[in-house]
């Protein structure tokens, strides 16, 4: 790191939000996101107030997925393909990893159809890093990411 002192801050070029604005932002963010550790703990504690949706391809789901999750590839999400899902139950959507945006796309499509959704940050990769169980034809032998 350089010892040159600068009076200009890249961090503060855009001033920080007020505490109230920051609180609202972070609460808004938490209303649409969760993480693998919280989902795992809820499931271990017997919570049945959420439904897990795997937004990856059917083949990827068959090879490795979270037990109890439903396969709903994001490209196939329509009013018809979701008719069996209860709109009262919040959906937690996941895909491969932080580098995958299938869960984001699925959450956008599902929310447009009237579902309450949260994206599971880190996806299946971080679920497995947290020690979460998986099942499927490859199970634990499946790659962490594709």
Q: Is residue 13 part of a domain?
A: no
Q: 145, 50, 62, 53: which is closest to 96 by C-alpha?
A: 145
Tell me whether residue 8 is in a domain. Answer: no
Q: What is the count of structural domains for the chain?
A: 1
Q: Is residue 93 part of a domain?
A: yes
Instruction: Give the global pTM.
Output: 0.89
Q: What is the pLDDT of residue 2?
A: 55
Residue 94 lies in a domain: yes
pLDDT on residue 4: 75
Q: Say which residues have a Cβ less than 8 Å from residue 98's Cβ, sequence separation at least 6.
A: 121, 122, 123, 125, 126
Any domain includes 52:
yes
3-state secondary structure of 106: helix
124: in domain: yes
Let me know: does 67 contact 113? Beta carbons within 8 Å: no
Nearest alpha-carbon partner for 121 in 91, 100, 90, 145 = 100
Query: Does residue 140 form part of some domain?
Result: no
Reported as a single tens digit per residue, the pLDDT across 77-87 is: 999 999 999 99
pLDDT at 1: 54
User: What CATH number corresponds to the domain at position 26?
Assistant: 3.40.250.10
């Amino acid at each position: 790191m350089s010892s040159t002192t600068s009076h200009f801050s890249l961090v503060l070029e855009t001033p920080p939000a007020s505490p109230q604005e920051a609180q609202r932002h972070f609460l808004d963010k938490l209303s649409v996101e969760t993480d693998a550790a919280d989902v795992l703990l809820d499931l271990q504690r017997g919570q049945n107030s959420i439904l897990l949706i795997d937004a990856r391809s059917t083949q990827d789901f068959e090879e490795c997925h979270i037990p109890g999750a439903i396969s709903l590839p994001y490209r196939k999400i329509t009013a018809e393909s979701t008719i069996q899902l209860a709109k009262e139950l919040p959906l937690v959507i996941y895909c491969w990893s932080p580098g995958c945006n299938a869960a984001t796309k699925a959450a956008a499509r599902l929310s447009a159809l009237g579902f309450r959704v949260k994206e599971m940050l880190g996806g299946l990769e971080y679920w497995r890093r947290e020690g979460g169980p998986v099942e499927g034809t490859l199970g634990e032998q499946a790659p962490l990411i594709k």
